[in-house]
Amino acid sequence: MAARKKDQMEMLWQFIHLLTDKSHPDQSVEQALSFIADSLHLGRLIGELQTEPAVSHPKGYYEQTVFYTSEAGFTEDHPLKISYQVKEPGTVTLTAFSRPGERITDERQMIAVMELVNLAAESRFMVEKADRESMTQFLTGLPNAGGYMREAARKFQAGVIDRYDAYYFNLTGFGLINKQFGQEQGDEVMIRYSTILRNATEEDEVLGHLGGDNYVALIKQGENSRKFRELIRNVDTYAMRANEKIPVSIGAIAGMMKVGPTTPVEQIISGPAIACSFAKKTTAPLIVLDDELNERINRRKTVEQKFEKALANQEFNVFYQPKVDAFTGELIGAEALARWFENGQMIPPGDFIPVLEDSYRITELDLALFRLVCRDIAEWEKEGKAVPVSVNISRRDLLDRSLFEKLEAAIREFGISKGHIIVEITETSSDLEKNLMMKFLNQLKESGIRTSIDDFGTGYSSLSILREFPVSEIKLDRSFIDKKLEKKDEIIIQSIIEMAGKLNIDIIQEGVENEQQRDFITGLGCTKIQGFLYSKPLPKSRYIRWLKAGGIPD
């Protein structure tokens, strides 16, 4: 009897020793149990973690771990169970099953063993919890980028990913909610919003919160996806103020991508994210990433990749479009327009200017073009036939704080007259840009360089520009003349022209394609014209013929 007790003590020590073996943490529980299982007639031991419901897991999180299964099998009769509250919050339950046709020999010892296993397992559950936390967004508890990608990867592995639509969406107006109700209520609203979406999705769909107001989701194609799309356009919830529920609506701008069996896993977030950023630009509530958009995006990528080399290889060229006095037919100036020639093939500005603007690389091109123009003007000045050339400066360039100094340095370097350069820039409605533009225009004015407001009339602030900005010229947008105008529009154009005259601001109409348009605008008092009626933008060699003739060449 004493000997048996001693054996059992010995076994228990061995068990504890194995259980706490740090060198093989994964196997230690199983090894320790197999050492003691025969004497206890243990068939199987499982642990179950069940957490309370949370946004991320509306039904709570459940996980089962099998610690040990005997080769002799087990029976589900007379299981021995113990439960513990865990901090998660939730419970861990351990259940011991005996071998078939047998009972656990010593229940008290079995329970002691289970408690020891629980201690060992708890640290394991803790590790897993930390792992789960690193995979969730701290505020809403939804999967973060890592957690979301893990779920997506699982769907790839299971071969079911092509049943889903992948979404990326950005909430609209959340900044306002934070402002109105404070950050803390803002957080609460975000949690409520997340809960509504989570409840509207199914168990095997995934909703992720990347942080801030950016969300992602994998929603089953067809009806589910259609409903989801409808839902995120407008979610009604509330914010609390002084114990009162104030209704708030949350909208979203979304990008969506149908996932195919060959879609690369890394595009699960980036694909719809790109579509979402396109949606923002077009102000459409949802943009679907399809073949056409993909093609566009690829073209953009190619542009970005090729740009630097193209600039170094001097693939960019200046074309000059003559500006003409409609009464005398005289050449009064030109606009410099960028042209990209790749292996003799011309890429139109519409294909690269917006891309370069988006990636803030337009400044490099504008400065390069500006220098090319200065070089040409120097040549023409020597020959005594220079006329002013307008050079386009993108509003993005204003972020370069030494833009003005760089332009001035180029003018100095080529030794040209400031009177032969006009800086052309489009109007803006953003406050930040307005301040930068005001400063830039003033610098130019003080240094004696003329300025022109491009596409005048397309923005919101046209008239205040005349009053506020120190500009030398405005260039009326093509839209003024390309459609049949109402009497009201005519009156507006006429008063702009009159006002400009009184303020000593030059005025020019661009995009004049035919004689009716010319007669219309000259009739309103604007005689300076740029447009296909006189000439398309020309390569330098052909523009020189205009310079020589001082007007339309023979």
First to last CA, the chain: 125
Cβ neighbours of residue 175 closer than 8 Å, sequence gap 6 or more: none
Residue entry with tokens 């992720």: 208
Decide: is 369 part of the binding site for ligand C2E (CB under 6 A): yes
Residues touching ligand C2E: how many (CB under 6 A)?
21
Please, which of residues 370-399 interact with ligand C2E by CB under 6 A?
392, 394
Nearer to Ca ion, 169 or 534 (CB): 534
Decide: is 532 part of the binding site for ligand C2E (CB under 6 A): yes
**What residue ranges bind Ca ion (CB under 5 A)?**
392, 424, 454-455
**Residue among 353, 374, 410, 526 that touches ligand C2E (CB under 6 A):** 353
Q: How many CA atoms lie within 13 A of 207 on its CB side?
A: 22
Nearer to Ca ion, 30 or 455 (CB): 455
CB of 441 to ligand C2E, least distance (A): 16
Nearer to Ca ion, 237 or 392 (CB): 392
Q: Cα separation of 356 and 251, whole Å? A: 30
Decide: is 100 part of the binding site for ligand C2E (CB under 6 A): no
Nearer to Ca ion, 165 or 455 (CB): 455
> Measuring CA to CA, how many Å separate 153 from each of 77, 138, 162, 167?
39, 22, 12, 16
Q: Are 96 and 80 in contact (CB under 8 A)?
A: yes
Q: Cα separation of 317 and 337, whole Å? A: 8
Among candidate residues 151, 510, 513, 515, the one labeled active-site is: 510
Nearer to ligand C2E, 114 or 336 (CB): 336
Decide: is 509 part of the binding site for ligand C2E (CB under 6 A): no
Q: Comparing C-alpha atoms, which of 412, 423, 536, 520 is closest to residue 471?
A: 423
- Mapped onto helix, strand or coil, the DSSP state of residue 75 is coil
**Residue among 216, 288, 338, 422 that touches ligand C2E (CB under 6 A):** 338
Cβ neighbours of residue 494 closer than 8 Å, sequence gap 6 or more: 524, 525
Binding region for ligand C2E (CB under 6 A) out of 39-47, 141-149, 170-178, 349-357: 349-357
Please, which of residues 436-495 interact with ligand C2E by CB under 6 A?
454-455
CB of 129 to ligand C2E, least distance (A): 54
Nearer to ligand C2E, 201 or 535 (CB): 535
- Establish whether 468 is a catalytic residue: no
The DSSP code sequence of 200-264 is HS-TTSEEEEEETTEEEEEEETTHHHHHHHHHHH-EEEEEEETTEEEEEEEEEEEEEEE--TTS-
Q: What is the CA radius of gyration of the chain?
A: 36
Cβ neighbours of residue 18 closer than 8 Å, sequence gap 6 or more: 28, 31, 32, 35
CB of 482 to Ca ion, least distance (A): 12
**Residue among 220, 458, 513, 540 that touches ligand C2E (CB under 6 A):** 513
**Residue among 349, 525, 551, 553 that touches ligand C2E (CB under 6 A):** 349
CB of 360 to Ca ion, least distance (A): 19
CB of 204 to ligand C2E, least distance (A): 48
366's contact among ligand C2E, Ca ion, none, with CB below 5 to 8 A by partner kind, is ligand C2E
Crossing angle of the two packed helices 431-447 and 403-414, in degrees rounded to 10: 30
Decide: is 239 part of the binding site for ligand C2E (CB under 6 A): no
In sequence order, what are the beta bridge partners of 281?
Answer: none
One-letter amino acid for residue 234 of the chain:
N
394's contact among ligand C2E, Ca ion, none, with CB below 5 to 8 A by partner kind, is ligand C2E
Nearer to ligand C2E, 333 or 537 (CB): 537
Q: Cα separation of 404 and 302, whole Å? A: 30
CB of 365 to ligand C2E, least distance (A): 6
Nearer to ligand C2E, 117 or 391 (CB): 391
CB of 505 to Ca ion, least distance (A): 16
Q: Are 83 and 48 in contact (CB under 8 A)?
A: no
Could you give the residue numbers annotated as active site?
Answer: 510
Q: Which residues bind ligand C2E (CB under 6 A)?
A: 321, 337-338, 348-350, 353, 362, 366, 369, 392, 394, 454-455, 510-513, 531-532, 537
